[in-house]
Structure 1
Amino acid sequence: MKGRLIYVIGASGSGKDTLIKAAANALAEHPGIRFARRCITRPADPDGENHLPMTRDAFNARVQQGQFAMQWSGNGHDYGIGMEINTWLNNGNTVVVNGSRLWLAEAFARYPDLVPVLIEVSPSILRQRLQERGRESAVEIAARLQRHQQIQPQIEHCIVINNDGALSEASRAFIEAIRQPVRDTALCR
């Protein structure tokens, strides 16, 4: 494939959706940069990710029809990335995907040249963000935080963006990662 696949990972609540939205808005005039929209078996949330909500039956029908380039399950939901990303990549586009840390090895197997971008936040900020979004109970938040500590990407190099501070700083770094070839990488832990 000729294009670049930017595979964004990080804990739920790390700010992936916010950074992807900011980058999509900032790079809207760049025809060679595409942002994949995920299909998810959860209702739409106007403050959350711009995903295509669907029932499990509809999702499974798409799986059976081979309509997903990537698919995984997590946190009680199913996630899918449409096959259009392959066309975009073959046309030389940079494609940004909101991925999964647990599915990263499979993503590398399918797209060996993908560029992983890890969005990191400190545990205290992660807890605060999860509480503020109000999507999960206190027990579910505790489970997410524990899961975050257990999931560590098993890759050698990725771009690491810290999202503890001002959104503008993390957004600037993320947009730069999308626009520029990978030069500096940090060890993913």
Structure 2
Amino acid sequence: MNRARLYYVMGPSGAGKDSLLAYARSRLDGARADAVPVLFAHRYITRAPSEGENHIALSHAAFALRHSLGCFALDWHSHDCRYGIGIEIDAWLAAGANVVVNGSRAFLGQAVARYGERLHLVEIRVDPVVRAMRLASRGRETGEALDRRVAHTVSWIPPEGIPLSVVDNNGPLEAAGDRLVAILMSQAPH
């Protein structure tokens, strides 16, 4: 029986998702949770990569071409960029691997529609003051663009029947990272 799950990690910009995913990837990539491999998907994004981020930069034209060819299992538009998760994750799930993706709360409906009972949500939470400091320190935006990013919030309601785990990322990276690793290594029944 294929028990593979899609772990959909989400949270606001500045919550530390990339740092936490890099931490977990360094400890788990290719590891097995109860004999199920754990694989981390990269994103395709129409901007240059940032330090610690697992993504492939594409031009808007290259993204549009891949989109038209059906190369994305999930895709969305946010903060003037296009984001995609490649269809390779479908093959990984079919082969029996757990897959971890850096998703978006605003476009969670796509993941629910496509992966349903295979989905396990992981929400990264952070204090607004800590988040604002992180956004400012990463230097992607300044001035009004930074103010808009800090003010941006997404309201969402966890879908019924889909497991949700929460990681508080206000303290040391290791504490939140170990919590994420523990979630990814667990094998709760479907």
The TM-score with structure 1 as length reference comes to 0.90
Return the offset for 1:29: 4.6
* SS of match in other structure, 1:14: coil
Which range is displaced more, 121-130 or 139-148?
A: 139-148
2:88 aligned partner: 84
Identity of aligned residues (%): 38
User: Which residue of structure 2 aligns with residue 70 of structure 1?
Assistant: 74
Question: 4+ residue runs of structure 1 moved beyond 6 angstroms?
Answer: none
Q: Which amino acid aligns with 1:161?
A: V
CA gap of 1:93–1:84, structure 2 versus 1, over 3 A, is: same
Cα 1:117/1:37, change in 2 over 3 Å: same
Asked if the contact 1:105–1:154 (Cα under 8 Å) also holds between the matched residues in 2, the reply is no
Please list the CA deviations of residues 36-63 of structure 1 after superposition, one character each: whole Å capped at 9, or x if unmatched. 0100000122x14121001000000001
Structure 1 portions without partners, runs of 5+:
184-189
Aligned residues: 180
The residue matched to 1:70 in structure 2 has which SS?
Answer: strand
Q: Is the 8 A contact 2:46 2:83 kept in 1?
A: yes
Change (3 A) 1:69 1:50: same
Q: List gaps (5 residues or longer) in structure 2.
A: none
- Compute the RMSD of aligned alpha carbons: 1.5
Matched residue, 2:21: 20
Give CA deviations for 1:74-118 in whole Å, capped at 9, x if unaligned: 000000111110011011111000001110012111111211100
What CA deviation, in whole Å up to 9, does each residue of 1:105-151 have, x standing for no partner? Answer: 12111111211100000000000000111110132222122212xx1
Which moved further from structure 2: 121-130 or 102-111? 102-111
With normalisation by structure 2, the TM-score equals 0.90
